[in-house]
Amino acid sequence: MVSLGCAKNLADSETILGQIVAAAPTALVCAEPQDADVVVINTCGFLEAARDEADETLDAVELLQAEGHVVRIVAVGCYPQLWKEQVQKRHPGLATVMGVDAMYQRAFWEGLLQQGPPPMVEQPVDLETMRGFEAPRLLSGSGSYAYLRIADGCSQRCTYCTIPRIKGPLISRSADVILREAEQLVRTGATELILVSQNTSAYGMDLTPKHRPQLATLLRELDQLRGVRIVRVLYLYPTLVTQELLEVIGSSRHIAHYVDIPLQHTDPTVLKAMGRPWAVGSAARVVGRVRRIMPDAGIRSTFIVGFPGETEEQFRQLLADLRMLRLDHVSAFAYSREALAVSSRFSNQVHGSTKARRLREFMEVQQEVSCSINKARYLGKNVEVIVDGTTQSGVYGRTLLDAPDVDNTVVVQTDHKTKPVPGDICRARITTVGPYDLDGILL
């Protein structure tokens, strides 16, 4: 199973894999494609770079097939959803190609490794099936954390984004289904549950007549789940980061004081062109609200530089705002002109070299900010570390204010004969810090 793209894709890939193995318990899950008879590739199609990566991955597996290593290749996910003909034309060796509803094709996955060919027709999936779908998960990582997808699709209309066209509108999963899956993940040993969707803060808006978010209610229930140690929430839309939501997180027993708010920009004109909340000072207000209710919170955000029409003055103000906001973790991307996005038709596109230069300058500023925050928060301090893996001389992991793969990594040296194992929470004294990495000694 090759899972490309985001954490939401990974959760879907693990559900696909779980259905296959549940139907064929003697099957071996291979670490490398060349060792497998069947390779399933769950693709991303959000950006051109992601589609290029998918094509390169498919090319590589098709080459293995030509050499006799692979019998059957299945491609699914976001890339074939809108570009199915393109995928089939470029990759004629694929046995099956399905879009974003592939996960729900239970009969196909259950028959994939049987002697006869599995059903080849992708069955339509209705709303209630998506909301109530349950299937076993086969976790692919170390077991220290698991992603829990609570919804799919997005009803926002950001002008740079193709997700609504690929995934459709917001469809929230039933709370009962989410809680049962959470219980299953905890039983398998996951220390941390990470809630994901395209717009996590909008969870439940499609389930109630008044279209009110139900994330706070869901978090209260997850916080009471027996055996759960950490719950983390990703992808909160700025206008939905309410006082109620923050108070639920702040007063909980198990929910990490971690707030991920993709702000995308701070200039009102640019934000309005993006189709984002654009009121003057909105970024400072939402960040201030988080810090007022949870002074110890770690705050993450993402930004886009070089959006059509972004002037040098607006970019300079963005850098000034970045210094003022002092966010713990920030990712940035140079604007990608996607043909299916509204903004691709804007006339005032920014030159590629300018976008690249702005991205470099942006990240240099944020590295200074992150390094300063890490020094003040961690250097010389004793902190709890969630262990994600082991090294020859110790372990590595994250603090409670860091999400996996995108935030700080903590490398902990240990002279102890018995190392902590993935999923453990140990204590370490931080001895050195940088903008992204911390070093420490096990206590």
Task: Please list, in sequence order, all residues whose beta carbon lies within 8 angstroms of the beta carbon of residue 80, skipping any fewer than 6 positions away.
Answer: 43, 45, 87, 97, 98, 99
Beta-carbon count within 10 A of 37 CB: 12
Alpha-carbon gap, residue 309 to 355, rounded angstroms: 12
Tens digit of pLDDT for each residue in 19-31? Answer: 999 999 999 999 9
Q: What percent of the chain has pLDDT over 90?
A: 89
Mean pLDDT of 32-57: 95
Torsion-angle region of 37 (φ positive above 0: left; ψ -120 to 50: alpha; else: beta): alpha
Residue 146 pairs in a beta bridge with 193
Tens digit of pLDDT for each residue in 197-239? Answer: 999 999 999 998 899 999 999 999 999 999 899 999 999 999 9
Tens digit of pLDDT for each residue in 65-103? Answer: 999 999 899 999 999 999 999 999 999 989 999 999 999
Taking each helix axis from N to C end, the angle separating 282-293 and 312-325, rounded to the nearest 10 degrees, works out to: 10
DSSP 94-118: -SEE--TTGGG-HHHHHHTTSSSPP
Alpha helices, H only, 195-345: 215-223, 243-251, 268-274, 282-293, 312-325
Task: Please list, in sequence order, all residues whose beta carbon lies within 8 angstroms of the beta carbon of residue 178, skipping any fewer than 6 positions away.
Answer: 148, 150, 218, 222
pLDDT for 120 equals 66
Tens digit of pLDDT for each residue in 325-354? Answer: 999 999 999 999 999 999 999 999 999 999
b/e code 288-325 from CB counts within 10 Å (16+ = b): eebeebbeebbbbbbbbbbbbbbeeebbeebbebbeeb
Both structure tokens of 147: 């992603």
Residue 283 pLDDT grade (very low, low, confident, very high; cuts 50, 70, 90): very high
Alpha-carbon gap, residue 330 to 369, rounded angstroms: 10
In a 10 Å sphere around its CB, with 0-12 CB exposed, 13-18 middle and 19+ buried, how is residue 206 labelled? middle
pTM summary value: 0.94
Task: Please list, in sequence order, all residues whose beta carbon lies within 8 angstroms of the beta carbon of residue 119, skipping any fewer than 6 positions away.
Answer: 105, 107, 108, 111
Alpha-carbon gap, residue 274 to 283, rounded angstroms: 15
Task: Using only the alpha carbons of the chain, give its radius of gyration.
Answer: 22
